[in-house]
């Protein structure tokens, strides 16, 4: 029990990071190169923190409103981005994150500016985080197996073919942004009510890189991809404590290696290998049956 408690902070980081990783994966699966998760998380975090601390709103209601704010922001953001593709989407969504950061820093009466918000009542425990993470994985599996997930896959593979098959690109891009915003806003609110303080810098550029890295390393299509990516990159700092000053270099080197040798991520590469292995076994088995029949 004491051992479990000693690793509780690491487990909390893992579960929170998992939520943000799935927020990022949704848009990547729909073929959208968005980095807006940091903006959604900021909006949800400050929404929940302000409501709970300054207006005594119950935590469940604050989290629902944080989710709603994130979803609405994602839907509105999808409108001007509907004509952009690729790197232009990334630049536009990064600009959105910077706009959110600028508003947070200048609206000092509401957000505390650069000092952030302190002494936020803690109403989210590790067990809550675990329940939210499990629910999110289940929802993601349901989305992947539904018509929405198949539409996302079709768009990611080839937008033109998807459009020919009757998939509305604009509609599903808007849906991906909305779902991503809802998840990001919700887990931003969860993080603010789990920690006692909130500062603008925690959703800055390092956060943007981190949520992308979780999906690059773990895999952008497999449901288990973010789990593997977050676990790998969360455990890495603990395993590399003796080389603390080289930690960014180690992380960067691992990402470069994964992108070069396993460009689809650890989970997607492993699943593809397993399927090829199963197909090869099936072919060999059929060949053996033919030989026996001929004999």
Q: Where are the domains of the chain?
A: 3-293
* pLDDT range class, residue 99, cuts 50, 70, 90: very high
Q: What burial class does residue 35 get, using C-beta atoms within 10 Å of its C-beta: 0-12 exposed, 13-18 middle, 19+ buried?
A: buried
**Vertex 204 angle, CA 140 and 218, to 5°:** 35
Residue carrying the six token digits 């579960």 = 15
Burial track 171-208 (b if 16+ CB lie within 10 A, e otherwise): ebbbbbbbbbbbbbbbbbbbbbbbbeebbbebbeeebb
* pLDDT range class, residue 284, cuts 50, 70, 90: low
pTM here? 0.86
Q: How far apart are CA 89 and CA 34, in angstroms?
A: 6
> pLDDT value at position 5?
58
* pLDDT range class, residue 87, cuts 50, 70, 90: confident
Higher pLDDT, 159 or 89: 89
Average pLDDT for 187-207: 90
* pLDDT range class, residue 206, cuts 50, 70, 90: confident
> pLDDT value at position 271?
73
Q: What is the pLDDT of the chain when averaged over all its residues?
A: 85
CA 156 to mean position of chain CA atoms: 17
Q: What's the number of CA atoms in the CB half-sphere (13 Å) around residue 263?
A: 1
* pLDDT range class, residue 274, cuts 50, 70, 90: confident
Over residues 29-47, the pLDDT tens digits come to: 888 889 999 999 999 999 9
| Among the listed residues 26, 46, 45, 44, the one whose alpha carbon sits nearest the alpha carbon of residue 35 | 26
Average pLDDT for 10-15: 89
* pLDDT range class, residue 85, cuts 50, 70, 90: confident
Average pLDDT for 264-286: 67
| Among the listed residues 226, 219, 234, 231, the one whose alpha carbon sits nearest the alpha carbon of residue 270 | 219
Question: Has residue 292 got a pLDDT over 80?
Answer: no
Percent of the chain at pLDDT > 90 equals 41
> pLDDT value at position 188?
95
Question: Has residue 139 got a pLDDT over 70?
Answer: yes
């Amino acid at each position: 029990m004491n051992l479990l408690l000693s690793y509780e902070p690491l487990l909390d980081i893992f579960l929170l990071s998992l939520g943000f990783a799935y927020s990022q994966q949704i848009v990547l699966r729909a073929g959208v190169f968005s980095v807006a998760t940091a903006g959604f998380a900021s909006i949800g975090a400050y929404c929940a923190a302000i409501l709970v601390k300054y207006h005594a709103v119950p935590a469940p209601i604050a989290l629902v409103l944080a989710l709603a704010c994130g979803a609405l922001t994602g839907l509105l953001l999808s409108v001007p981005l509907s004509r952009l593709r690729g790197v232009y989407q990334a630049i536009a969504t990064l600009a959105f994150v910077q706009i959110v950061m600028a508003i947070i820093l200048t609206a000092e009466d509401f957000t505390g500016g650069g000092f952030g918000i302190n002494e936020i009542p803690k109403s989210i425990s590790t067990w809550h985080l675990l329940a939210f993470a499990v629910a999110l994985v289940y929802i993601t599996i349901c989305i992947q197996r539904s018509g929405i997930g198949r539409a996302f896959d079709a768009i990611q593979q080839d937008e033109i073919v998807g459009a020919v098959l009757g998939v509305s690109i604009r509609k599903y891009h808007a849906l991906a942004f909305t779902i991503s915003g809802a998840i990001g806003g919700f887990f931003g609110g969860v993080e603010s009510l789990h920690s006692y303080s909130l500062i603008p810098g925690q959703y800055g550029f390092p956060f943007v890189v981190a949520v992308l890295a979780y999906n690059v390393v773990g895999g952008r299509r497999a449901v288990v991809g973010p789990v593997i990516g977050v676990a790998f990159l969360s455990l890495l700092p603990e395993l590399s404590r003796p080389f603390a000053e080289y930690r960014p270099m180690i992380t960067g080197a691992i990402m470069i290696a994964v992108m070069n040798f396993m460009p689809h991520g650890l989970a997607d590469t492993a699943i593809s290998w397993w399927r090829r292995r199963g197909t090869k076994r099936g072919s060999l088995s059929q060949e053996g049956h033919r030989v026996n029949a001929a004999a």
